[in-house]
């Protein structure tokens, strides 16, 4: 096990959020798939897809059993993990009182020039792990009392996660799973995760694919992201918390405010409110800083201002979206 990564989440504002209280006798979705044998079938399907990989929206189609050349994720048969530990810096519905059990995967299927974790996502800092090691990480995080297992940057390691999950679930893993993604996910991968993931937490980075291409080096981000959000919400619905305010199932979307409104916050939040659900829980984040290669890109070579962030919060409130910061009052 490696140390905790100190990742900051944004100041989430003061909007009122409601939640549906559920029983503490919660059973994660994947248990039913394990008992029926469907989880084992999904593992086989996912591993088969790695031979001509379509497990993220890059659709690079390389054989990941033979090479990583040509793959943006640079990940072969084994996942690379940077750290595994309880994390107390996630959104309150995830961290609760005992922390979110984060597993930070190295590499990424995006190439954001302002990535705050570029050593992990661009340089691949971490260690290769097999399915047994990854399963053990999950079980240790459960033993430590974490509220959930939080897969960070998982889009390129769906097959590896499923294989390890089967082993961990057979050994007694019973925590909700969080799919904490940059939001550039293939529908093929999401189909494999249907009934497996309890909580989806995707980024909705941009409302414009042109801007996404400029700063994250992917041409169709907005279209792919919108399709992924629709499918995630279809699978898990709006965010549901237990009586202690801890998330157990549903969708929580992150949106990072960029300088000069380059993320097109109005378009992103308007789409979520109109096309996904006005009950969507959203974290509008204010922590943008010009790190990594951002200083070489005019427009994002400065932090955001307080007025820029206030305007983003006003857009969120106007659409009636729920913010993730404060524990909400109960509603059954």
Cα angle for residues 286, 316, 280 (degrees, 5° grid): 105
Which DSSP category does 67 fall into?
Answer: -
Q: How many CB atoms lie within 10 A of CB 222?
A: 24
Residue 77 is predicted with a pLDDT of: 97
Low-confidence ranges of the chain (pLDDT < 70): 1-24, 326-332
Alpha helices in 65-157 (DSSP H): 92-95, 118-121, 131-143
The confidence score (pLDDT) of residue 36 equals: 98
What burial class does residue 317 get, using C-beta atoms within 10 Å of its C-beta: 0-12 exposed, 13-18 middle, 19+ buried? middle
User: What are the structural domains, with CATH classification, of the chain?
Assistant: 19-331 (3.20.20.70)
| Per-residue model confidence (pLDDT) at position 26 | 85
Interval 6-64: pLDDT, tens: 222 333 333 333 334 344 578 999 999 999 999 999 999 999 999 999 999 999 999 99
Average pLDDT, the chain: 91
- Name residue, tokens 């309890």: 198
Contact 118, 166 (CB under 8 A): no
pLDDT reported for residue 326 = 55
Q: What is the pTM of this model?
A: 0.91
Q: What is the pLDDT, as a whole number, of residue 22?
A: 40
- Residues 6 or more apart whose Cβ sits within 8 Å of residue 285: 9, 10, 12, 254, 255, 256, 257
Beta strands 19-20 and 199-202 are: unpaired
The pLDDT value recorded for residue 70 is: 85
pLDDT in tens, 303-317: 999 999 999 999 999
């Amino acid at each position: 096990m490696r140390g905790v990564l100190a990742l900051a989440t944004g100041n989430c504002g003061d909007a009122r959020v409601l939640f549906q209280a559920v029983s503490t006798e919660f059973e994660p979705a994947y248990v039913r798939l394990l008992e029926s044998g469907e989880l084992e079938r999904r593992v086989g399907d996912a591993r088969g897809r790695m031979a001509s990989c379509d497990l993220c929206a890059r659709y690079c189609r390389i054989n990941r059993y033979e090479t990583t050349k040509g793959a943006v994720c640079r990940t072969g048969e084994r996942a690379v993990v940077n750290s595994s530990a309880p994390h107390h810096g996630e959104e309150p519905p995830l961290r609760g009182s005992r922390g979110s059990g984060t597993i930070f995967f190295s590499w990424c299927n995006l190439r954001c020039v302002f990535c705050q974790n570029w050593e992990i996502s661009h340089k691949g800092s971490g260690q290769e792990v097999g399915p047994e090691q990854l399963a053990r990480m999950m079980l240790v995080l459960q033993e430590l009392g974490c509220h959930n297992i939080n897969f960070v940057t998982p889009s390129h390691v769906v097959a590896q996660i499923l294989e390890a999950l089967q082993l961990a679930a057979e050994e007694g893993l019973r925590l909700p799973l969080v799919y904490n993604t940059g939001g550039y996910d293939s529908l093929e991968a999401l189909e494999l995760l249907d009934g497996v993931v309890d909580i989806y937490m995707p980024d909705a980075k941009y409302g414009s694919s042109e801007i996404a291409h400029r700063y994250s080096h992917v041409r169709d981000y907005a279209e792919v992201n919108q399709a992924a959000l629709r499918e995630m919400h279809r699978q898990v619905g709006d965010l549901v918390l237990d009586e202690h305010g801890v998330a157990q199932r549903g969708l929580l979307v992150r949106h990072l405010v960029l300088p000069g409104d380059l993320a097109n916050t109005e378009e992103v939040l308007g789409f979520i409110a109109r096309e996904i659900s006005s009950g969507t829980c959203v974290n509008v984040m204010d922590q943008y800083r010009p790190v990594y290669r951002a200083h070489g890109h005019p427009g994002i070579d400065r932090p955001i201002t307080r007025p820029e962030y206030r305007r983003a919060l006003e857009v969120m409130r106007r659409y009636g979206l729920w913010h993730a910061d404060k524990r909400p009052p109960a509603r059954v």
